[in-house]
Amino acid sequence: MSNVLAFDLGASSGRALLGRLTDGKIEVEELHRFPNDPVQVGDRLHWDILRLYHEIKQGLLKAKHQGIELQSMAIDSWAVDFGFIGKNGELVGNPYHYRDRHTEGAMDSLFAQIPPSVIFARTGIQFLPFNTIYQLFALKQANSPWLQEGNRFLMIPDLLRYFLTGEMHNEFTNATTTQLYNPVEGKWDAELLRMLDLPASWFGNVLKPGAKAGSLSHSVCEELGIPSIPVYAVAEHDTGSAVAAVPATESSFAYLSCGTWSLMGTEVDKPVLHDLARKLNFTNEGGVADTYRLLKNIMGLWILQECRREWEREGKSYSFPELVQLASEAKPLQSFIDPDDASFLPPGDMPSRIAEYCGRTGQKAPETTGEIARCILESLALKYRYVFEMTERLSAQRFQGLHMVGGGIQNTLLCQWTANAIGKPVWAGPSEGSAIGNLVVQWIAQGAFANIGEARKAIRDSFPVAVYEPSESEAWSGAYERFLNVTGFAE
């Protein structure tokens, strides 16, 4: 038996999952779960990075108290965000949250200096206003003291690994999301760094998933009363780990990692850097086994989560199953939003923003809780179809269906509506995709699996996959045409 620990940090919560591998079968057990709440300080929105580090140590302690002998551990998280380590080895400032407003206008200002075509040709990364490159540019514009005091740039899992091991490394899948990494050259893009006047010395060696990134330091082991174990770099962008866990039998497949964010795409051997990919705003992010993930970010269940928070502020508390039930009872296919409209990115009053969007696109706004929830979920399913078809177009492939992984697959209504929207089967599972991908990369590194194909077979044999067949095709086809028109996607 091989026991490894995966820390999977999402935008709203984190978890420590124990993975057991016995005779080729994978079992997972949640040892620790904790909230990941951003902290507003004045006008700035931060991640509580030291609280996350504390919770990681609590996960290690829970393994110890259960008498579990660990062979290794690894961390995955969201992308783009970072912190700086100063010359004294200490953290310089609390990392900003990607939804913080300090990047407003930064992308357009940077484009005045470096054309987007140049940035895409050098990085292959989708243009999103919170990408690392625009965060760093905004810090330079603000003359942030971080840039004077910082000595090394580390992304969120890099930072937490550094706290645990004392070693500073960057990791491939997360590095590619910064829009500062050149996938053709296979290293940080020196020319972009020069144009941005960013010191190349900030950006360290880039480890591939499966590389050893250190061991638990003596001080951590002494504090917790545990033995030292290896800490691996896995696919530390959680979507990279989720894609590693897709239980596909075919070599060419489409996936949707579904949670606070939805990320849809396919695996490719080389990044797709031509102009159509740029115009469609697709991205080429690093994956496992020297692959790239040709994909597009979609806003995801964030909009419904924010609606729920707003209703709670009004004194109306709903569980997510209750919201799904209310959505199922509402009248179908009435009004639609583009989940990626800029108005839905910041936190706040989503029901009012949905009503405003419908008003400016000539639609009747949903009013009841069920109508609003249904509008969000149907709009997501229709946006999935749009991106699914663009993925086929860019990759010159035709997919038999769609693999869905991640916590969002617990929303069976969304899975079924996605199948209805794309007109093809949806295969949903496993739900803990990011953590399972994290685990299997550790096992590959240890030699328990020969390669990612063998690991995916073990995932298929170990976890159930629900199949959703498409239905109501005529109604959904008509709805898709209306969706394209109101969102402006109609060609």
Q: Are residues 397 and 327 in the same domain?
A: yes
User: What's the pLDDT score for residue 329?
Assistant: 98
Domain boundary among 201, 232, 263: 232
User: What's the pLDDT score for residue 207?
Assistant: 98
User: What's the pLDDT score for residue 128?
Assistant: 93
User: What's the pLDDT score for residue 11?
Assistant: 87
Q: What is the mean pLDDT of residues 40-46?
A: 96
Q: Are residues 203 and 260 in the same domain?
A: no
Which residue in the list 76, 81, 189, 238 is annotated as catalytic? Answer: 238
Q: Is residue 315 part of a domain?
A: yes
User: What's the pLDDT score for residue 157?
Assistant: 98
Q: Are residues 250 and 192 in the same domain?
A: no
Q: Are residues 168 and 131 in the same domain?
A: yes
- In which domain, by residue range, is 24 found? 2-232
In terms of Cβ atoms closer than 10 Å to its own Cβ (0-12, 13-18, 19+), residue 342 is exposed
Q: Is residue 434 part of a domain?
A: no
Residue 391, pLDDT above cutoff 80: yes
pLDDT digits (tens, 9 = 90+) for 200-248: 999 999 999 999 999 999 999 999 999 999 999 999 999 999 999 999 9
Q: What is the mean pLDDT of residues 335-352?
A: 96
State the DSSP H helix or E strand holding residue 357, giving kind and residue range, or none if neither: helix 350-360
Residue 150, pLDDT above cutoff 90: yes
User: What's the pLDDT score for residue 131?
Assistant: 98
pLDDT digits (tens, 9 = 90+) for 284-332: 999 999 999 999 999 999 999 999 999 999 999 999 999 999 999 999 9
Q: What is the mean pLDDT of residues 119-123?
A: 97
Q: Are residues 297 and 148 in the same domain?
A: no
Residue 491, pLDDT above cutoff 90: no
Domain boundary among 203, 232, 261: 232
Q: Are residues 143 and 265 in the same domain?
A: no
User: What's the pLDDT score for residue 144?
Assistant: 97
Q: Are residues 159 and 275 in the same domain?
A: no
User: What's the pLDDT score for residue 331?
Assistant: 98
Q: What is the mean pLDDT of residues 16-45?
A: 96
Q: Are residues 201 and 291 in the same domain?
A: no
Q: Are residues 253 and 204 in the same domain?
A: no
Q: Is residue 350 part of a domain?
A: yes
Provide the number of structural domains found in the chain: 2
pLDDT digits (tens, 9 = 90+) for 255-283: 999 989 999 999 999 999 999 999 999 99
Q: Are residues 201 and 279 in the same domain?
A: no
Q: What is the mean pLDDT of residues 174-201?
A: 97
- The answer to whether 41 and 87 are in contact (CB under 8 A) is no
What's the rounded Cα separation, in Å, for the pair 237 and 234? 9
User: What's the pLDDT score for residue 479?
Assistant: 98
Q: What's 150's domain CATH number?
A: 3.30.420.40
Q: Are residues 214 and 254 in the same domain?
A: no
Q: Is 338 a catalytic residue?
A: no
What's the rounded Cα separation, in Å, for the pair 309 and 141? 33
- Name the residue type at position 53: Y
Average pLDDT, the chain: 97
Q: Are residues 68 and 45 in the same domain?
A: yes
Tokens of 373: 């929830």
User: What's the pLDDT score for residue 473?
Assistant: 94
- The answer to whether 260 and 198 are in contact (CB under 8 A) is no
What's the rounded Cα separation, in Å, for the pair 393 and 385? 12
Q: Is residue 441 part of a domain?
A: no
Domain boundary among 174, 206, 232: 232
Q: Is residue 465 part of a domain?
A: yes
Q: Is residue 436 part of a domain?
A: no
* pLDDT band of 12, cuts 50, 70, 90: confident
Q: Is residue 240 part of a domain?
A: no
Q: Is residue 228 part of a domain?
A: yes
User: What's the pLDDT score for residue 1?
Assistant: 74
* pLDDT band of 430, cuts 50, 70, 90: very high
Q: What is the mean pLDDT of residues 142-162?
A: 97
CB atoms within 10 A of CB 184: 13
